[in-house]
Structure 1
Amino acid sequence: MARHIPLEGSPNVRDLGGYATADGRTLVEGRLYRAGSLNALTDDDLAAVTALKLATVVDFRTPGEIQGAGADRLPDGLTATLLPIGGGDLDQYYNAAFDPEERARLLEGGRNAEALVGINRGFVSSATEREQFAEALRLIADAESLPMLFHCTAGKDRTGWLSAILLTALGVDRETVTADYMLSNEYFLPGGEELLAKLAGSGLDIDADLFRPLIEQRPAYLEAAFAEADERFGSFDGFLHKGLDLDDDTLDALRAALLD
């Protein structure tokens, strides 16, 4: 299961609790949330987030994303921990809408979907980005950091990969991990479709469908990250230990903090 928390200003907020692991345990609800950015929360949204009694919010957005969209709107006394991951910043692709040369370079000829595959492989191949994901996992392993919410802009790429790492490390099967990843199409994609419709009706000579691979989630994107982990580190376990430099004590602490 995945418990959706419907917020007007952040449609892709979900409790990661409720998933079952291979050894028969379950992720405890109310301890870990995945989300899109929180900068556009309404007053009612803020009240709902306050009710989660969060101890930590992790923001994967880059400084440019935060400057452009705004900092998170958070309950009093709570400040976001910034762990910027540049690979998931899609602004250059969205900005290409208004530059024919950039559209051709970045989006046409199948390069739109290739970009997302490359970004997800980069989450694994980049030592800098691995370090940020690893730091988020170490925070989650610290029981004093919970309940925690982690997010990027849409809540699907950077947030999706951290969720996939975490669920897999805890023993959730790949089919369930992929299903959780794909839920962004249910909660984030409708708003993206509205933006594509506005772009298509803008009168500009732009094929709005060029941007569809950027706003929707595809299994191939997640598969690319897992494949990169296997190719680079020999296995997912090798990725956890060598790629993310997580020791057994940290992984045991993750299980103790999140599983019942």
Structure 2
Amino acid sequence: MTHDPLAAPAGPPAGLPDLHNLRDVGGLRTDDGGRTRHGVLYRSGTVAFLDAAQAEVLVGGDGLGVRCRVDLRGPREVAEETSAALRERERRAEHVEIHAADVAWDFTASHRSDWVAAHYARYLDASGDRIVTVARLLADPANRPLLAHCSAGKDRTGVTVAVLLRAVGVVADDLVADYARTAQAIAGLREQLTRLPAYGDRIAAVPQEALGSTPETMWAFLSTLDERHGGARAYLLGHGLDGSELSALTEALVEPA
């Protein structure tokens, strides 16, 4: 039977209807025959719309029990678009902005997979130390389960999670499939983005495909990661992660065969 990583448990559990694009990255295969652990790393879109009950599901002991939320958004987004109820209840929140220096998204451009992957490569160029920071946070048991998120949970989150997963040996097929799962959440994400100050009316002019997460985009990004940086492990080590930290990250994320 063909392995289907999309069949792995994912998506918001009951009680989190406003946390779109949420999933546990557990259950993905690794090159050495292992699997990523469930309940260690979650990824999602914006946390702006969580009320008190939903915040409790996310961070409470009877819910997901998230101990650390890593916010990959820019300063304006963080200030204007974070749930007050979540701020009151969460244990730890870290702002680790992933950015592409001064290169902005061009919403008038055709959203071709190679163009998007090229923008993702700019995240690698400008935010290596920040991606290493996320790796270190995740390697620390005190921060797990950890939630990494941006606004849509696709671009900044997609790049960060892809680097971490590939660095611990997740097979490319499963990593690409996980990235592509955002397509299931596009309708809800688009509606939410229209209500966020940092996006507002701009999102109405963005073509539907601009929120897409095609497999071709992630394949192109992984090729760039390999060709320019020698792969995810070399990328993290080259930006300051040491060998013991990489081993700790692997232990945190991977259940051996």
Q: Which runs of 4+ in 1 moved over 4 A?
A: 111-115, 192-197, 206-210
Hey, what does 1:96 align to over in structure 2?
A: none
Instruction: Please state how far the C-alpha of 1:52 moved relative to its aligned partner.
Output: 1.7
Of 228, 231, 249, the residue aligned with 2:244 is 249
Aligned equivalent of 2:73 = 61
- The secondary structure found in structure 1 opposite 2:100 is helix
Classify 1:55/1:194 alpha carbon distance in 2 versus 1 (closer, same or farther; 3 Å).
closer
Separation in structure 1 between the aligned mates of residue 101 and residue 70 of structure 2, nearest angstrom? 15
Q: Give the secondary structure class of the aligned counterpart of 2:153.
A: coil
Structure 1 pair 113/53, CA: closer, same or farther in 2 (3 Å)? same
Check if 1:3 corresponds to 2:10: yes
Q: Which runs of 5+ in 2 are unaligned?
A: 1-7, 195-200
Number of the residue aligned with 2:29? 20
**Would the aligned equivalents of 2:67 and 2:92 in 1 still touch at CA under 8 Å?**
no
Q: CA deviation at 1:221?
A: 2.9
> Helix, strand or coil for the counterpart of 2:26?
coil
Change (3 A) 1:225 1:112: closer
CA shift in 2, pair 1:210/1:53, >3 Å? closer
What's 2:4 paired with?
none
Please point out which of 28, 50, 56 is paired with 1:41: 50
Q: Give distance in 2, aligned partners of 1:140 and 1:56.
A: 9
Q: Which amino acid aligns with 2:19?
A: S
CA-CA distance at 1:74 after TM superposition: 4.2
Which secondary structure state, in structure 2, belongs to the residue aligned with residue 87 of structure 1? Answer: coil
Report the counterpart of residue 102 of structure 1 in structure 2.
Answer: none
- The residue aligned with 1:117 is 117
TM-score, length-scaled by structure 2: 0.79
Q: CA deviation at 1:70?
A: 3.3
Q: Deviations over 1:51-76 (max 9, x none)?
A: 22222110011111123323562462
Structure 1: gaps (5+ residues): 94-105, 198-203
Q: 1:229 maps to what in 2?
A: 225
Deviation string 1:99-154 (CA, Å, 9 cap, x unpaired) is: xxxxxxx344526766633320111122xx11111100011111222111111111
Q: CA offset at residue 238 of structure 1?
A: 2.6
Matches within 5 A, 1:194-209: none
1:159-202: per-residue Cα shift (whole Å, max 9, x none)? 11122112212222111100000001112x022455899xxxxx
The structural deviation recorded for 1:209 is 7.2
Are the structure 2 counterparts of residues 177 and 207 from structure 1 closer, same or farther at C-alpha, using a change threshold of 3 Å? closer
1:191 is the counterpart of 2:188: yes
Aligned amino acid, residue 60 of structure 1: L
Contact 1:3 1:15 (8 Å CA) reproduced:
yes
Structure 1 partner of 2:174: 176
Q: CA deviation at 1:13?
A: 1.1
Indicate if the aligned counterparts of 1:196 and 1:209 stay in contact, CA closer than 8 A: no
Asked if structure 2 preserves the Cα contact closer than 8 Å seen for 1:116 and 1:214, the reply is no
Q: What's the RMSD between the two structures over aligned residues? A: 3.2
Identify if the C-alpha distance between structure 1 residues 65 and 115 changes in structure 2 by more than 3 Å, giving closer, same or farther.
Answer: farther
Shift in Å, 1:89: 11
Alignment map for 1:87-98 (pairs within 5 Å): 87=100
> Residues 209 and 218 (structure 1 numbering): CA distance in 2 closer, same or farther, change over 3 Å?
farther
Give the structure with higher Rg (CA): 1
User: Within 2, Cα distance between the matches of 1:89 and 1:12?
Assistant: 27
**1:240 to partner: Cα distance:** 3.0
The 5 Å alignment of 1:29-178 reads 29-49=38-58, 50=60, 51-71=63-83, 73-74=86-87, 76-87=89-100, 106-108=106-108, 110=110, 116-126=116-126, 129-178=127-176
Higher helix fraction (1 or 2): 1
